[in-house]
Amino acid sequence: MKRVFSIILLLLFAVISTVNSCPPSDRAPLLALKAALLEPYLGIFKSWTGTDCCHNWYGISCDPESNRVADINLRGESEDPIFERAHRTGFMTGVISPEICKLTRLSSIIIADWKGITGEIPKCIATLPFLRILDLIGNKISGEIPADIGRLQRLTVLNVADNQISGRIPPSLTNLSSLMHIDLRNNKISGPIPGKFGRLRMLSRALLSRNQISGPIPGSISRIYRLADLDLSMNKISGVIPPSLGKMAVLATLNLDCNKITGTIPTTLLTSAIGNLNLSRNALEGKIPDLFGPRSYFTVIDLSFNKLTGPIPRTLSAASYIGHLDLSYNHLCGRIPAGEPFDHLEASSFMHNDCLCGKPLRGC
């Protein structure tokens, strides 16, 4: 009788284990992903053995109800003990297998900071209906952003920075109505910013610097109410700065440096919520608007390397705070105002203008 009872318990345990383990249809794509990648130093894939990929497979998490694979979290820079024991960051080569797209319940794909992963972003990633996070930062991925990426209606984070991605920003990207964070920095992306970029109403950070993006800044960006950080620096952007950017309620950082922007500085930028303003290394002309006051609070104002003329605005002395101010390499003229913030600024903030004088430069 005891033997029969033991057999029943073993059978029940086997059934429960099978129910709580990932299905073979999810295990196979993970093994294909493993086969296409080579990680020689840390051995993170050594745990990817056995039939149950939901338990003790490094970086893999499953939905507790369906036992389908929900998250792939493989970071090459981490405080995980496996990195501390090896005394090094991760390095991985190979490609991201398109078989990953058979994991149809994926919520996040994080394969980040491995430095050596090449190939393209699998185009079929755009077919994953539950994907919320796509983070591939810090690899050597090339090719283009999938044209149909706009199908990912649940996507909140798109991070492909520090790769070798080329081509244009696909127009469908503006359909990502849930997107909160986009980071395309340090790639080879060219062409214009889509004119309908302002449809990304949930966006709080848009980081597009260090690419080859050209064309104007779309005025529609100013309709992104939640946008707090806009970085378009080190591109080939031309045209004027839309004055509507200065009317955005929560925009705190605006980096437009190292582009081909022309025209004048919109007065709205200096009476806005922006506290970090970098317009350096463009072709801006005209006078610096004399509109500073007690509500003006800037940690950084960098207007260097432009074609600005006229005097330094006297109202700068009325600002509640000016941390770093750089007006060098322009065509400014006249006496540098006395008092704060000028008393704590160095000569380098004013050098190489036409005829500025006064402390900290030579006397007038």
Q: Does the pTM exceed 0.85?
A: yes
**Across 183-204, average pLDDT:** 98
Helix boundaries (H) for the chain: 2-20, 24-35, 81-86
How many CB atoms within 10 Å of residue 86? 12
DSSP state of 5: H
Of the given ranges (74-88, 127-141, 204-218), which has the lowest mean pLDDT?
A: 74-88
Answer for the pair 212, 237: CB distance below 8 angstroms, yes or no. no
Distance in angstroms (rounded) separating the CA atoms of residues 336 and 301:
16
pLDDT in tens, 244-298: 999 999 999 999 999 999 999 999 999 899 999 999 999 999 999 999 988 889 9
- pLDDT of amino acid 6: 42
Strand partners, 70: none
- pLDDT of amino acid 20: 61
